[in-house]
Amino acid sequence: MNRIFSGMQPTRQLHLGNYLGALRNWVDLQNSYECIFCVVDLHALTIDQDSEVLRNNIREVAAAYIAAGIDPDKNILFNQSVVPGHAELSWILSCHTPLGWLNRMTQFKEKAGKQKDMANLGLYAYPTLMAADILLYKATHVPVGEDQKQHLELARDIAGAFNRRYETEFFPLPEPQILGEATRVMSLRDGKKKMSKSDESEYSRINMTDDADTIAQKIRKAKTDPEPLPETVTELEARPEADNLVTIYGALAGQSREQVLAQFAGAQFSDFKKSLVDLSVDKLAPITSRMKELLGDKAEIDRLLKKGGERAAAIAEKNLNDVKDIIGL
Ligand code: ADP
Ligand code: NA
């Protein structure tokens, strides 16, 4: 059986990178797989959170999933902390994970910054919790952006180590699915950093809930160089900020970068940016307004999450009991 697991953190608002690199691709997958879509609120605790803000962000991410086209009846949609199995399996797996494997994780190095000793243990253990999220449901496929590839490889390594240690084939090795034209959307301020919720600069990202004026302002301010758009992708790739904007345009329009350049080669960025604003507003506005509608009835979102949580817990409980049997608990 093929089963999908994927999730997003309820830290600040979802952005265009989350949408193009992950969420939008989930919508197509729900027709061909059994899908579990999670709001990974335990992961969000690796960053300092205000409790009221966190509570609302959980609902906002759930609303974004539904507004983007995820059907909460057809799929399991829930938030991680309501299923205790995530934390429990995470502990069990962490006792089977050598520190050396975690030391290789580049996201920890980026997020911990220079003061590594001040970073919390949760941030360091983040990838083992992520492995538990996936393996708790014996998921076979995990659609993610490119930034999560290393974590997914670790999840495969942990599953493999567990299987070898107990001479079992209990855990399937989860396959990453890195889909779409924009698997790594970069910051609008710095072409070398990925667009991320944790970036301090609001101008680094377009949020899914930004209004038309804000989107226009952010795209106008996006870093570029003075050259017009080139003819070829090879020339484009030498210019990371330009490449990023063309990639975003292509992903929103459902076009390759070649197709975008065929239309805009020789154009000034100031003009291209106007088209990009129109396209972004066009694609995001319907999702944003649906999100607002959904967030108008918080009790209904809570009810949907609770129902999804019960469905998730039924699968999780069985698998966790099997794991405990295998290891002698
Ligand atoms: P963030 O890194 O902004 O905190 P999450 O860790 O919650 O976002 O990631 C949720 C999903 O969005 C993951 O599948 C991740 O790979 C994807 N994603 C995050 N940032 C980007 C990006 N800049 N480009 C493409 N996909 C991204
Ligand atoms: Na991420």
Contact 143, 26 (CB under 8 A): yes
ipTM higher than the 0.85 cut: yes
CATH number of the domain to which 53 belongs = 3.40.50.620
Contact 93, 128 (CB under 8 A): yes
Q: Are 237 and 259 members of one domain?
A: yes
> With a cut of 50, which residues of the chain have pLDDT below it?
none
Q: Is residue 196 part of a domain?
A: no
Closest CA relative to residue 78, chosen from 298, 301, 306, 291: 306
Cα angle, residue 40 at apex, residues 324 and 109 outer, rounded to 5° = 95
Length reported for the chain? 329
Q: Are 273 and 316 members of one domain?
A: no
Looking up tokens 């080139």, which residue turns up? 230
Q: Distance of CA 241 to CAs 137, 194, 244, 295, Å?
A: 39, 11, 5, 34
Domain extent for 220? 209-292
Q: Are 39 and 144 members of one domain?
A: yes
The Cα 305–Cα 82 span in angstroms is 9
Look at residue 198 in the predicted model and tell me its pLDDT: 82
CATH number of the domain to which 216 belongs = 1.10.240.10
Q: Are 172 and 218 members of one domain?
A: no
Q: Quick check: CB of 134 below 6 Å from ligand 1?
A: no
Q: Are 100 and 10 members of one domain?
A: yes
Residues annotated as catalytic are 111, 194, 197
Which atom from ligand 1 is nearest to the alpha carbon of 196?
Answer: 3
Closest CA relative to residue 245, chosen from 286, 285, 189, 202: 189
Closest CA relative to residue 275, chosen from 215, 187, 211, 191: 215
Which residues 6+ apart lie within 8 Å of 298 measured at CB? 59
Q: Is residue 41 part of a domain?
A: yes
The Cα 45–Cα 120 span in angstroms is 10
* Number of structural domains the chain divides into: 2
Q: Quick check: CB of 147 below 6 Å from ligand 1?
A: yes
Look at residue 2 in the predicted model and tell me its pLDDT: 94
